[in-house]
């Protein structure tokens, strides 16, 4: 679980300050990933605001040569706990040395000195729900009061 979210900074670079101010879900290596199912499951007012901001963003930066991004859900795992397929995915091999001990190596042959405490990023099943995005419509994030649906009364 992530710690309580930091307050939104009041500076000349609020987004940079917020995104760089501690661990946040789906913020890593200069990228912010928004699971589409969660974004489409936000309350309607939020979706309208997000659509407006994204439209402005794409209008401002649409002229750039955008690559196609491949987003892969992943988690950190200890190298010594990986199976053969996962080792291949991260570019490691395991072999038995002359003493009968397991030796973990990178693709280039360099020995990994402490595989029992070295973590690598390995793909995993996506824990974010996809098919039930509409079910999240009435589930506000923690700390925000739910809006009552006055039209249903």
Sites in the chain below the pLDDT cut of 70: 1-9, 131-153
Q: Is residue 47 a contact partner of residue 38, using CB atoms and an 8 Å limit?
A: no
C-alpha distances (whole Å) from 8 to each of 3, 4, 11, 15, 59 are: 15, 12, 9, 8, 25
DSSP 21: S
113 token code pair:
């000195």
The model carries a pTM of: 0.64
Q: Is residue 95 a contact partner of residue 102, using CB atoms and an 8 Å limit?
A: yes
pLDDT for residue 144: 42
Nearest to 113 by CA among 76, 150, 68, 79: 79
């Amino acid at each position: 679980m992530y710690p309580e979210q930091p307050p939104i900074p009041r500076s000349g670079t609020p987004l940079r300050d917020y995104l760089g101010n501690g661990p946040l879900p789906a913020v890593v290596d200069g990228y912010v990933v928004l699971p589409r199912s969660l974004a489409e499951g936000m309350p309607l007012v939020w979706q309208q605001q997000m659509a407006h901001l994204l439209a402005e963003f794409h209008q401002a930066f649409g002229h750039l040569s955008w690559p196609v991004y491949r987003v892969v859900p992943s988690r950190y795992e200890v190298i010594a706990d990986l199976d053969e397929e996962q080792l291949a995915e991260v570019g490691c091999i395991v072999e038995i040395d002359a003493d009968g001990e397991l030796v973990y190596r990178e693709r280039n042959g360099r020995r990994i000195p402490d595989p029992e405490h070295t973590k690598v990023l390995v793909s995993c099943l996506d824990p974010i729900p996809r098919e039930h995005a509409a079910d999240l419509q009435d589930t506000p994030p923690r700390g925000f009061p739910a809006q009552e649906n006055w039209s249903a009364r």
